[in-house]
Amino acid sequence: MEEDDEDEVDYLEVHNHEENDLNTSVRVRLNSDTKLRWERYAENTHGINGISELVRGAVSKEISGGFEDGEQKQDQILEGILEIKDSIDEAHEEVRKTHADIIDESKLEATLESAIDASTSGGETDG
């Protein structure tokens, strides 16, 4: 590894403080920017007491499939949104059909005048 790269690499030591444990730790090597981003996230997130807890929680979720549950929820939400969109599209089509079926006021007036003219002129020619 080059010396310049050494400046960009930082170490993260994750401690395990669970009961009945040997208080073991794991050293993780990562980019300084990544470490800073993780630290800021841990500091600004309610319920997370430090970067070690953040990493332990993320690893635990990964192992238990917790992240997959989130993906499944996203898929369910997306499916629900698509169903709503389909319903809106169907309603729009029904409105369009209904609108096409409505007779324009001017057409109705012209039709009524024709009917009146036909009935009055037809009555006069019969006599």
Domain residue spans of the chain: 3-64, 68-126
**Over 80: is that where the pLDDT of 115 sits?**
yes
Please report, for residues 3, 14, 29, 48, the alpha-carbon distance to residue 8 in angstroms, rounded to integers and kept in the order given.
Answer: 9, 19, 10, 26
Mean pLDDT, range 71-90, rounded to an integer: 88
DSSP assignment of the chain equals: --HHHHHHEEEEEEE---TTS---EEEEEEEHHHHHHHHHHHHHSTT--SHHHHHHHHHHHHHHTHHHHHHHHHHHHHHHHHHHHHHHHHHHHHHHHHHHHSPPHHHHHHHHHHHHHHHHHHHHHH-
Average pLDDT taken over every residue of the chain: 78
At 127 the pLDDT is 43
Is the pLDDT score of 3 beyond 60?
no
Least confident of 11-15, 26-30, 84-88, 107-111: 11-15
Compute the Cα dihedral for 16, 17, 19, 22 and give only its sign. Answer: positive
Q: Give the range among 9-13, 50-54, 87-91 with minimum mean pLDDT.
A: 9-13
Asked whether residue 76 carries a pLDDT value surpassing 80, the answer given is yes
Position 82 confidence tier, pLDDT thresholds 50, 70, 90? very high
Q: What is the pTM of this model?
A: 0.40
Q: What is the pLDDT of residues 22-70, one digit of tens each?
A: 577 888 888 999 999 999 999 998 888 888 889 888 888 888 876 666 6
Closest among 61, 65, 10, 16 to 33, alpha carbons compared: 10
Enter the tokens of residue 57. 């929680």
Answer yes or no: are the C-beta atoms of 52 and 26 closer than 8 Å. no
Query: Which token pair is 79?
Result: 């499916």
